[in-house]
Each structure stands twice: as structure tokens, then as C-alpha cells.
Chain A
Amino acid sequence: MTTVQQIMERCQALFEDLHFNAVKQWKAAEPGRKAIGYMPVYVPREIVHAAGMLPVGIFGGGDQLEVIQGDAYYQSYICRIPRSTLEMGLTGRLDCLDGMLFPSLCDVIRNLSGMWQILFKDKYVRYIDVPQNYLDSVGGEFYIQEMQVLREDLGRLAGKPISDDALRASIAVYNDNRRAVQELYAYRARKPWQAPTSEVYLVIRAGMILPPQEHTQLVRDYIAAVDLENRPKRDNARVVLTGSFCEQPPLGLIKSIEMSGCYVVDDDFGLIHRWLLDEVPVTGDPLEELSKAFLHRSNQQASKYDEKKEDKGKLLVHSVKFYGAEGVIFAAPSFCDPALLERPMLQDVLSKQKIPYTAFKYAENTGQMAPIREQAGTFADSIKLWSAA
């Protein structure tokens, strides 16, 4: 059986490899294989997978990449993820990708899709628009058409059309992957001392690179292996971390939060793994089923419109209650419009529910952890004091 250490070494290597050698190896294993990159937060990976391609999550350059060329394209008031993504593209690190998908998330990522079209003319580039109208006959039909265009484009790129059966098979693969990730999140919430978020995060990030079946197995192996470990249980505060759905915090920041006395029992890192909240039926029209899942059974996040005022923060509050959290940490990247505009509304909802929270900003290359550790530590202490009272 694989040990936790072996699993973590593998995940860490995948996480640190900004040359995407795992993708190159996957492609080299069979002639003609193609890989398609995607940015946060959500794209229907099932379609990429059904084309026989590898979906690859591009989540920025982290704190190990020196951004030189990427900075030349952005003003100081733009977040860091487009800079480091461009840096990776311009320095050839993303040459292994045959295309890039830019989801409808914010103006910066949206504009990056057009920049990519200009800078990487030989690659397939598509902006993935998702509906903000949730009626099947309105937003649903539009979204099905958007997915159909992607399906046809990728079919052409692959050299053969994507059949309904291939789509259904891919939906089943991702259903299983979602189940595994949900199991992992549930396990961590039950025993956060056994599955620290600094490890869970790396397991999740591995899913951006590995083929889904392989990732599903890795997740299950990790749960099995970590459950055999005997790790000390601490009197930490249980918190939900939110706002980190796009540009990711450095791993050191996650560790700092944990070291300061917090158990993260839910988060929105790598949200694509949990974007759809339950199983997508593998019968019926596959695109229609994917559309229905998106419209009616998908996650709540700042780039998605809440139709009713009372819906605001519903899933966050649910997460706090469901996972038994004692507070919420708002951790958003600097200059992240969706997260920072959403934050006051969520804070208002939490205040009404008497759920404590704290907030800070970061960049993917934040190096100074002491202030964050102090803030998170004070927050954890205050939670413990309140709950003691």
C-alpha cells in the first residue's frame, strides 16, 4: 500500500513542476494525444476528456516562478495570476498544451482570452461563457449551444467527432472523481488533524494535472493511507476558508493558517472538482444533463449571479453548519474583483447568523507569513475564548 509520504511526494512534485512534465509524459505515451489547459473556476472538463484529451488546470505560477515578461503586460493594480500565466506561456512552459479555455469568471481572465488569441496564434483558444440565467429554456439552451461549439471544435482538433457515448462515459468518470473528492472533504471535516489542509490541497492540485481516473485513485489512496496514521489532535478552531477560488495562496500561507491554530474544514481551492454538487445522470442527452447540473445543482461563488437576495451566502452558511465550523476566514487575492466585491455581502450574512469571521488578502507569491499567522492565530484564539464563554 502506498504511504502518505509517497503520495505527498508525488503531489508535491506535480505541484512544483511548472514545466508540466507529467502532461508531456502523458502525451508522449501515445502518439496524437492532446492536452487542453483551463483556468479557474469551472469548465465542463467532461467534453475535453471525451475528446480523448487531457484537461490541465492552469492555476498560476505560485511563489516559485519569477515573473518578468508577464509583468510587462499588466499594470500594478491587476492581480497576479494573469501575469504568471502569461509568463508560463511566453517562456514555453505551456507549449505542451494544444489549447486553452478561459472560463467566464472576471474581466481580467476574460480579456486574457483575447490576449492569448493574439500571443499564441497556433493554439486553440476559447472563452467559455456560462449562463447567468438559470431557466432551462433560456440559459440552458444557450449553455448547451456553447458546449456544442466546444464539442465540435475539440472533435475537429482530435480528428474525430465526440459521440454521446463518449460524453456519457466521461461524465461517469468525473462523477466518480467528484465522489472521491467529496469523500476527502468529508474525511478532513471529520478528522482535520489526520488530513491537514496543506496535504489535502496538494491532493486536490494533483487533480489539475493527472487524468481523472488516476486522480480519483490517488484521492482514495490518500484517505486510506492517512487514516492509518496516528496524528495528534489539537484544540484548534474549525474554520471555513473562502475567496481563494482563482489565484491560489502559496502553500506556505495554508500551512501558516494551520500552524496558527486553525483547522480548515472547508475551502474553495480547486473548486472545479466540486463545482457540480452531485451526480450528473449518465443517461439522456449528455450536454443537457451537464447544463441542468450547472443551472440547478452547482456551487455558489462570486462570479455566479444569485437570483434572489436570500440566496446570498446560502452555501457558505450551509458549509459552516454542515462541517461544524466555528468561523470563516475570507482569504482573497489582492485586486480580485469578484471575491472582494462579494465579501461585504457574505460578511453581512455571517454577521446576521452570528458566525465570526476575519479577512485578509494575499498574492500567489506572498512571502511574509507572519502578519497572516498572527491574524489567523488571534482569530482562532478569539473563537476559543468565545466558545469557552
Chain B
Amino acid sequence: MSTPVQMTPPQASKKPAPHAQKEDAMLLQKEMINRNYHELATAHENGRKVAATFVPGNLNELVMCFDFARSLPETNALQNGMRKKSGKMIMDAERDGHSEDVCTYVKADLGMMLGGEIGPTGEKLPTPDLLLLSYTGCFTFMKWFELIRQKYNCETVMLHTPYQGDGKITQSMRDYVVKQLKQTVIPTMERVSGVKFDIDRLRQYMKESAKAEDDLVRVLQSAKNRPSPIDGYFGAVYYIGPIFTAFRGTPEATQYYDVLRREIDQRVREKKGPITPEGEMAEEKYRLVVEGPPNWTSFREFWKMFYDEGAVVVTSTYAKVGGVYDFGFRHDPDHPLESLADYCLGCYTNMNFPQRIDMICRYMDEYEADGLLINSIKSCNSFSAGQLLMLREVEKRTGKPAAFIESDLVDPRYFSAANIKNRLESYFQMIKQKRSVAGVTAGH
């Protein structure tokens, strides 16, 4: 499944762009990411074990209790996508027998292994000692780690998160996840790491998580202001990076979100728009909600299509893929395992379709959006299957126009800039027209 995360600022496009403006928090995040890659690269020589896991259902606080260095294969794939390395990796995996029809995150990861496991920063990544298969919201995860296990014979432990088929989390679902944590996940981690589980250590990390989550929510919800001080999709992938990955629960993450919140609060006070790679956005013309992950291989080009037109994404479902915090959930140190279960169960793609549609409609209203844009990702059926119904339903319920574009996560063959640009331009025209019609009607 597609998942967001830690990103270095986008690389320069072919035309030399103006000096990329960055928030302090972006720089801080870049340092954190690079440090984590270095820690991973040197983990084994420093006597540390390595655990790999996925972003949705990421049990970072728990994994840290066992001193594991933490690797997230989706993040590696997207980082390689941003650095234009994923295309070759995907083709290498296809030549090795993997179908052209399946998830390109998986193939980018397998292709990276075939190429000697050189990570995005150029350092060799270690073979994981443990694959923590957090099976949350995406079936492909299961096959992905089975494929890695097949190749490297890594120890694998499954955490099966039931799907919210009826649109709710039941006690039975919560109990099932907690029992797995107690009876299989924690004992396996103890055995592989040689570190005994300490629940107070977990509680401490979760306290840090909750603080960071408060700040993250405040940042994401700042987009309810006019103008929005952030871009809730392209900008948000920087903001969610630390908390969705190897940093949730660390004091560095708490510090990062504190710095970020202060920066954004300041921007709200100054009534400033979002910072784009080409500087602050001057005029906010369109406010959009976006469903679906971004394309990483042409991330900056994609973003530019929006800010050039004065379109700001006020919120996105993708920024909830590693945890839905804006409706009140926080990691709870008083109920640590139950809270981890609720976190896994509540991730965006683990919500059923009616819930996802309700959430988008609520966003459209609360963020005063002009419309919904769906970026449908070929690789990610978890997100994509059914999005055309979502589009109809949201249009029907909100009366706002919705549009549909298609791309892929990290396969450059599936990003057609001209097509997407055309569609976006037509869409912005449509919004403008709707507004003028509404204005005329209101005038009457």
C-alpha cells in the first residue's frame, strides 16, 4: 500500500528553480532522516538489531522498547522515487519475475535489494533481523514481507489488524490485536533483540507521542484559516514524516512538532500562505481536499501544477495514512497496548468506504474547500479501488465539484505530466465557473 513519509525536500527540476524556501522544521526533519539512515547503515557494526515495518500500523514506540534500529521499506521506496532511482529498480524487479501489475513500492524495494541494497542516501542498508508485519489496511503488506522473507530468511512476526468492515472498532477486534501483541509480537521481539519488555518505557514513549500528535493536529488544522498557512498534501508529507515513521515517541519528534507548530502559528498570525519550493504562495485561489497518495517521482512538478494556479490543498486523506489524529485519537500511556491496537485499527485505509466518504465530506465542510481531487494511484488498490464511487458520493453530498487524475507512487512510467496538467486546468476552470454561477444566483 502506499504510504507517506519522511522526505528530503524535493530535488530540483530540470529548469533551475529559484532558491527553495524551507521552513526550519523541514531542515530539522532532513537531519533526522539522514541520521536514521546512517543509524540503520551502521546498526549491525554497532551491535544493534534492525526491525523493518510498515507505516500504517507502525508500532514505533513498541519497537523502540527493544532498541531496534528502524527501517520502513515504503519510505525507502519513496525516497528512491524522489531521487529518480526507482524506475530502474522496478524494471529490475520485473525482469526478476515480478508482475507489471503489482505494487511498485514492493518492486522498488525488491529492485533495491537486487542492486545491492544501497539505500536512498547511498549507504548500504542492513538485512533486517526482524520483519514486523503490521498488516493494517493493505493486503500487499503481507505478500511484501513474505517476499523479503523468501529472499533473506528473516524472522517475521505478524500483527493482523482486522478491517473496520462495519465502520467501527469493536472490543473483539481490540482484544485480538492486544492478544497478538502480548502472545506473539512482544515475545518475538524480546527473543530477537535480547531485550526484556518494559511497559513503563513504552508509556514514556507514548507520552512523547501524544504531545507530538497534539502539535501535528494543530498544524494540520491550521489550514482551516484563510489563507491556509500550509499545504495539507504536498507540505503535509513533510509534516507527517517523523510521526509516521521511525521517530514517533522520541523527544526529537516532540521537538520537531513544537518547532513546526510555532512556525505555523506565526504564519497564521501574519496571515501568510503556504511555503512552496518557489517561495510563499501569493494568492489562495482554490482550496482543495485531496484523496490518495502523491506521485513521488515527479513530486515537485506535480506540486507546481497546483501552486502555479493558486491552488492550495487544505487537507488530504493521505496525511492520515499513518494515523488519524484529527478526530481525537491520541496514544494513551495509561492503556498502552489497547491504545496501540486502537491506533492500528484507526488508520485511514483500515476504515471502510462509508467512513472514508464521511470523513472527506466533513473535511470539505470544515476546511471550506472548493472541491475534491482524487489522485488515483495504480499501485495502491487499498486506496484506489472504489474511488470513482467516492467521487460521485462526495459530489452528491456536498454539491462541490470533484475531479479524478491518475498516476503512480514510484513508477515514472505512470506519470503523464501533460495529461494531469490539462485535467487540473479544466478542473480549476470548473470551480471558477461554479463560483460565478453561485455568485450570480446569490445576487438574485
Contacts and interface: CB of A to CB of B under 8 A. Distances in A.
Given A77-B378, A135-B183, A107 B385 contact: yes
A345 B354 CA distance: 35
Given A132-B160, A305-B158, A337-B103, A111 B353 contact: yes
A239 B357 CA distance: 46
Nearest to B96: A344
Interface residues of A, number: 58
6 contacts: A126-B165, A138-B176, A141-B179, A142-B162, A142-B176, A341-B147
A339 B253 CA distance: 39
B102 interface: yes
Nearest to B164: A127
Interface string A336-360: 1110111111011000000000000
A337 B143 contact: yes
A307 B172 contact: no
B149 interface: yes
Given A127-B352, A309-B153, A303 B101 contact: no
A108 interface: yes
Contact of A302 (B143, B158, B163, B384): B143
A132 B96 CA distance: 28
Contacts of A108: 381, 385
Interface of A: 72-75, 77-78, 82, 102, 104-108, 110-115, 117-119, 126-129, 131-133, 135, 137-139, 141-142, 145-146, 302-303, 305-307, 309, 312, 334-338, 340-345, 347-348, 361
Contacts of A127: 163, 165-166, 352
Interface string B325-365: 00000000000000000000000000011111100000000
Contacts, number: 163
A336 B354 CA distance: 24
Contacts of A312: 146, 150
Contacts of A309: 149-150, 153, 156
Given A75-B376, A138-B176, A138-B180, A307 B386 contact: no
Given A114-B354, A115-B353, A337 B184 contact: no
Contacts of B96: 344
B393 A138 contact: no
A75 B147 contact: no
Contact of A75 (B1, B102, B388): B388
B209 to A, nearest CB: 25
B352 A112 contact: no
Q: Of residues B97, B98, B106, B139, which shows the largest number of chain A Cβ atoms within 10 Å of its Cβ?
A: B139
Given A117-B354, A132-B160, A341-B102, 8 more contacts: A75-B376, A78-B384, A114-B355, A132-B135, A138-B184, A141-B179, A309-B150, A340-B99
A34 to B, nearest CB: 20
B160 A107 contact: no
B146 A337 contact: no
Contacts of B1: 107
